[in-house]
């Protein structure tokens, strides 16, 4: 069985985000990190390899500048067997449409049985790339998976919805995005960190993958940033001093604004 885990290098989630006024894009040159939500997808893949999908190969897949190699190593140290890294200046400025096209072609090439994503990316937070990739690959897709089992080649998943949990079954090949409640990602051990560099690492360009240059990068993107503006300053707020009736007054305040029924 072939399992792909899609991972993204993001600006350090702990640092304030900055938009470049000239390009309208997020500044991604600052300190970087492995998207924290992807660690849950890696853990899910590794657990499958250790259990129901014994012998499976777990491939870390990314589309990112070549400088993201260190981030890929972090994902390998957490348990990936090999990595495939699509890196090309021509990809810069890719919106969701272009990113989903490039990533889907990368995944299509290796015909994975299961593609796992984190629930979202901590920088762009679209929550939609997994579904867009699944659509392009014409594979079933479930997002926000909170429990996952592989039983005789069929995936049984649970996802949280407003009214409770849905339990769904889907055949392989499939695409899932996993919720951060699915598991507790393991920490990489020192030998695993040292060993990550020796794992097979494939670096691909746009030409090598045979991508249509008109469908990637800024030129292949449909989203246009038309302007940037700072959020309005916060108002004064309402201060409620407790004279024994604070709870009632807070409730009144919330009900007036229809924040609770
Ligand atoms: C006009 C415009 C220009 C942009 N330019 C750039 C740019 O130059 N560089 C840039 O990095 N982003 C750029 N973006 C953002 C990029 O389009 C989004 O990253 C992409 O659409 C995916 O959305 P998301 O990252 O919010 O992922 P989500 O929809 O939140 O999906 C989450 C899952 O997808 C995975 N994922 C996301 N991106 C990748 C990837 N590249 N490889 C593997 N897995 C991935 C995450 O790791 C996570 O597991 C641009 C967006 C716009 C609108």
Q: What is the pLDDT of residue 156?
A: 97
Q: What is the pLDDT of residue 22?
A: 85
Q: What is the pLDDT of residue 20?
A: 87
Say whether pLDDT at 119 is over 80.
yes
pTM of the model: 0.90
Indicate which residue's Cα is closest to atom 18 of ligand 1.
96
Do residues 147 and 182 touch, judged by C-beta distance below 8 A? yes
Q: Which of 3, 8, 21 to mutate to test the pocket of ligand 1 (most atoms within 8 A of CB)?
A: 8
What is the spatial distance between Cα 260 and Cα 253, in angstroms, rounded to a whole number? 9
- Tell me yes or no: is domain 2-215 CATH 3.50.50.60: no
**Confidence class of residue 131 from pLDDT cuts 50, 70 and 90?**
very high
**Confidence class of residue 132 from pLDDT cuts 50, 70 and 90?**
very high
Beta bridge partners of 164: 161
**Mean pLDDT score of the chain:** 94
DSSP 33-100: EE-TTHHHHHHHHHHHHHTTTTT-EEEEEEE--GGGHHHHHHHHHTT-SEEEEE--GGGTT--HHHHH
Say whether pLDDT at 185 is over 90.
yes
**Domain coordinates in residue numbering, the chain:** 2-215
In this structure, what are the phi and psi dihedrals at residue 33, rounded to the nearest 5 degrees?
-150, 165
Residue, of 228 and 57, whose pLDDT is higher: 57
Query: Residue 231 Cα, ligand 1 centroid: separation in angstroms?
Result: 23
What is the spatial distance between Cα 5 and Cα 176, in angstroms, rounded to a whole number? 10
Alpha-carbon distance values, 208 to 72, 107, 148, 225 (Å): 20, 14, 35, 30
Say whether pLDDT at 35 is over 80.
yes
Lowest mean pLDDT among 105-119, 129-143, 188-202, 230-244: 230-244
Query: Residue 64 Cα, ligand 1 centroid: separation in angstroms?
Result: 9
Say whether pLDDT at 51 is over 80.
yes
Q: What is the pLDDT of residue 143?
A: 96
Q: What is the pLDDT of residue 236?
A: 83
Indicate which residue's Cα is closest to atom 23 of ligand 1.
126
Q: What is the pLDDT of residue 30?
A: 77
Is the shortest distance between the CB of 56 and ligand 1 below 6 Å? no
Residue 254, number of CB atoms within 10 A of its CB:
12
Residue, of 94 and 15, whose pLDDT is higher: 94
Q: What is the pLDDT of residue 43?
A: 98
In this structure, what are the phi and psi dihedrals at residue 202, rounded to the nearest 5 degrees?
-105, 125
Is the shortest distance between the CB of 170 and ligand 1 below 6 Å? no
What is the spatial distance between Cα 244 and Cα 75, in angstroms, rounded to a whole number? 53
């Amino acid at each position: 069985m072939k399992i792909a885990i899609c991972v993204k290098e993001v600006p350090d989630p702990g640092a304030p985000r900055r938009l470049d006024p000239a390009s309208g894009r997020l500044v991604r040159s600052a300190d970087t990190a492995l998207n924290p939500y992807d660690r849950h997808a890696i853990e899910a893949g590794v657990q499958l390899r250790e259990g129901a999908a014994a012998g499976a190969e777990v491939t870390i897949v990314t589309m990112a500048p070549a400088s993201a190699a260190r981030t890929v190593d972090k994902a390998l140290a957490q348990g990936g067997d090999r990595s495939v890294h699509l890196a090309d200046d021509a990809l810069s400025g890719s919106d969701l449409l272009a990113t989903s096209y490039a990533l889907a072609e990368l995944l299509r090439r290796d015909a994975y049985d299961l593609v796992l994503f984190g629930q979202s990316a901590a920088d762009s937070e679209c929550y939609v790339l997994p579904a867009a990739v699944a659509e392009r690959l014409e594979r079933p897709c479930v997002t926000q998976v909170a429990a996952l089992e592989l039983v005789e080649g069929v995936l049984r998943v649970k996802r949280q919805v407003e009214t409770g949990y849905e339990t769904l079954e889907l055949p392989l090949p499939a695409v899932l995005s996993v919720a951060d409640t699915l598991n507790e990602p393991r920490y990489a051990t020192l030998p695993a960190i040292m060993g990550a560099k020796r794992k097979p690492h494939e670096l691909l360009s746009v030409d090598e993958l045979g991508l249509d240059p008109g469908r990637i990068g800024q030129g292949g993107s449909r989203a246009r940033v038309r302007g940037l503006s700072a959020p309005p300053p916060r108002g004064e707020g309402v201060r409620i001093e407790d004279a024994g009736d604070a709870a009632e007054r807070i409730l009144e305040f919330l009900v007036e604004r229809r924040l609770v029924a």
